[in-house]
Structure 1
Amino acid sequence: MDLRALRYFVETVRHSSFTQAAEHLCVTQSTVSKMVRQLEDEVGQPLLIREGRGVRLTDAGRIVYEGGQEALDVVKRLTQDVADLGELVRGEVTVGIPPMVNLFFPPLIKRFKERYPQIKLMAQEAGGQVIEQRVLAGELEVGVTVLPVPADSGLASTELGRFPICLVGTNASSWYGLPQPTLASLDREPLLMFSEDYALTKRLREGFARAGVSPVVVGQSGQWDFLLSLAMAGLGTALMPEPLLKRLRLPDDVVIRPLCEPEVTWRVGQVWVPDRHMSHAARAWLAVCAEGAALPLF
C-alpha cells in the first residue's frame, strides 16, 4: 500500500475536505483526489462518500483510516528514531574492558556520558584476548586490549597510551642489583604473571621468545593484588604495568624496577573490525577516546 496515498487519504478525512487537505499537504486538490482514488482502487472498495464539499467514511474507509493512522505513526516514529541515532540523541554501545585497565577509564566514561546523556554505555569486563575474540565474533563493536594485535587478526586498532612494564620483587630477586634489567635478566627467575587469557601475558611471552628466554612461571592469576602479595612474600617476580603500581600503596621494602625492553611495553588501545558496520554510539565512543588519548588519563 502506497504510504503517500495513505497519508493523503488520512489528511482528507481529518479535514473532511479535499481542498483543505491539499492546502495542508501543499499540493493541488487534483493530486489529493488522484491519490485517494488510487488507494480505493488498491483496496477494491470506496473509502469516502463525497458530499458536496465534504466527505464521510464508508465502512471500509473507517477501517483503512484507523489502520492508516497507526501505520503513519509507526513510520513517523521510525524516521525520528533513525534521526535521533544520527544526531546521537539515543542509542547504546557496550565496550569490552580488561580488569587491569578498567580502573583508568572512569574519566573517559564520565566525559562520554556528559556529552551523550541519552546513549546507554555499558562496560563488559573480560581479558584482552577474550575481548578481541568477542569483537571479531560481532558480540562487541569495540573493545580495549593490549596492543599490538597481529597484523592478520582482522582487527583495526588505535592506541590510547604506552607505558613501561615493571618488575616487582624483593632485594633477594636476581635482578635486584641491576640498574636496567631486561627480559634476559629474568632467565631462570621464578615469575608471577597474569593468566594466559590476558593480552599482556601473550605480549610478554612473545618478548621472552625474541630474547631467547624460557620463562619459569611459578604462579598465574587474573588478580593483580594476589600476584603482588606473592611477589612481596618473595615467591617470585611479578610483571606489572607501571600505571597500576603508581595507584597502589606498596610497602617500602618492595623493589620495583622498569623493564628496559623498548619492544615490550604496556600499550593500551581500542580494537574493532574495520569493514563491519559500526553504530553511531560506538563511533562516538571512539571519538571521545581519541580526544582523551593525549591527556594523562592513566
Structure 2
Amino acid sequence: MDIRALRYFVETVRRASFTQAAEALYVTQSTISKMVRQLEDEIGAPLLIREARGVHTTDVGQIVYERGQEILAGMRRIALEVQETTGLVRGTLTVGIPPMVNLLFTPVVQRFRERYPAIDLQLREATGQGVERLVASGELEVGATILPADHPELVTQAFGDYPLWVVGPGRSPLRGRKTLPFAQLAELPLLMLDEDFALTRRLRQAFRSAGFTPKVATHSAHWDFLVSMASAGLGYAVLPDPLIKRLKTADMCLMRLVKPDLKWQVGHIWPRERYISHAARAWLEVCDEVMNDRSGTGAEPISS
C-alpha cells in the first residue's frame, strides 16, 4: 500500500473535500483524485462517495480511514524515534568489560553518561574470552578484551598497551631489582589467573614460545587475592600496569617483565558483519577521547 496515497485519502476524508485536501497538502486536486483512485484499485472497493456537496466514506472507506490514521500516526512515531536515535537522545547500548579492564573505563562511563544521559548504558562484566563470545553471538553490541581476540568474525581496535609486572613478597631475594627477564619465571612459583582470562592465555603462549612449563602454585579468578598471596610469600603474580598502580607496593617486590617486553594490549571488539548502532559509535568515540587524553594518541576511527 502506497503510504502517500493513504495520506492523501485520509486528508480528503478529514476535510470532506478534494479541493481542501489539495490545498492542505500543496498538490493539485487531480493528483489527490488520482492517488485515491489508485488506492481504491489496490483495495478492490470504492472508498469514497463523491457528491456535489463533498465526499464521505463508504463502509470499506471508513475502515481504511480509521486504520489509515493509525498507520500514519505509527509512521510519524517511527520518524521521530529514528530522529531521536540518530540524534542520540534515546536508545540502549550493551557493553561488555572484563574485570581487569574495568578500571580503565570509569572515566569513559562518566563522560558518556554526561554527554548522552538519555542512552540506557548497560554494562556486562565477564572475562575477556567471555566478552568475545557474547559479542560474537550478538548478546552484546560492543566490548573490550585483551588482544589478540580469538574470534575472527570480530573487528578489533587497540587503544592501550601496558607493561606487565611481577609482584612478589617484600622479603623476596629478588627485591631491589627493577626488571625480570621472562625466562626467569621458570624458576618461580607462579600465582595465575584462571584459564578463562586473556592474560593467562597470553602468558601460556609466551611460556610455550620460551620452551618451558611454569610452576603454577595456584589459580584464582580474583587478581586481588593473587596479590594477597604474593604478599604472604606464596608465590609471584604477573599483572598489568593499570592494576599495579592501584596497589600499595612499598612492602612488596615489584619488577617489570622484560626480554621479551610483553605487553597487555587492550582493545575494543564488535561484530564484523553486523550493523553498529549510533550509540555504539558514540561509545567508541568517547573511549577514544578519554584514552587519547591519557596517552596523547588516538585509535583509528571506526569505518562507516
TM (norm. structure 2) is 0.90
In the other structure, the counterpart of 1:200 is 199
- The offset of 1:94, in angstroms, is 0.9
Q: Equivalents in 1 of 2:80, 2:286: separation in Å?
A: 25
Q: Is the 8 A contact 1:174 1:189 kept in 2?
A: no
1:26 alignment counterpart? 26
Q: Does 1:48 align with 2:48?
A: yes
Displacement, 1:123? 0.9
Q: CA deviation at 1:175?
A: 3.6
**Alpha-carbon spacing, 1:69–1:99, altered in 2? closer, same or farther (3 Å):** same
SS of the residue 2:27 aligns to? coil
Change (3 A) 1:124 1:295: same
Inter-partner Cα distance in structure 2 for 1:153 and 1:6: 47
Instruction: Say whether the 8 Å CA contact 1:175–1:185 is kept in structure 2.
Output: no
Q: CA deviation at 1:124?
A: 0.6
Distance 1:234 1:115, change over 3 A: same
* Structure 2 match to 1:3: 3
- Tell whether the 8 Å contact from 1:207 to 1:263 is kept in structure 2 after alignment: no
- Give the aligned partner of residue 36 of structure 1: 36
Alignment TM-score, normalising by the size of structure 1: 0.91
Q: Give the Cα separation in 1 of the matches to 2:178 and 2:84.
A: 57
> In the TM superposition, what are the counterparts of 1:64-79 in structure 2 within 5 Å?
64-79=64-79
Distance 2:259 2:95 in 1: 30
- What SS class does the counterpart of residue 89 from structure 2 fall into? coil
Counterpart in the other structure of 2:240: 241
Alignment of 1:276 onto 2:274: yes
Report the CA distance shift for 1:138/1:263 in structure 2 as closer, same or farther (over 3 A): farther
> What amino acid is aligned across from residue 181 of structure 1 in structure 2?
L
State the SS of the aligned residue for 2:164: strand
What's the counterpart of residue 182 of structure 1? 181
Structure 1 distance, partners of 2:154, 2:77, is: 35
Checking the alignment, whether the CA contact within 8 Å between 2:170 and 2:231 is kept in structure 1 is: no
Match of 2:98 in 1: 98
Distance 1:136 1:58 in 2: 54
Q: Distance in 2 between the 1:158 and 1:262 partners?
A: 23
Q: Distance in 2 between matches of 1:50 and 1:149?
A: 68
3-state SS of 1:7 partner: helix
Long gaps (5+) in structure 2: 296-304
Alpha-carbon displacement from aligned partner over 1:216-267 (angstroms, at most 9, x marks no partner): 11111111121111111100001111221212335x3211111124541122
SS class of match (1:88): coil
* Aligned equivalents of 1:37, 1:210: Cα separation in 2: 77
Determine the C-alpha separation between the residues in 1 that align with 2:205 and 2:2.
62
Counterpart CA distance in 2 for 1:173 and 1:11 is 85
Instruction: Tell me the C-alpha RMSD between the 2 structures.
Output: 2.0
How many residue pairs were aligned?
A: 295
Task: State, as a whole percentage, how many aligned pairs show the same letter.
Answer: 55
* Native 8 Å contact 1:159 1:270 kept in 2: yes
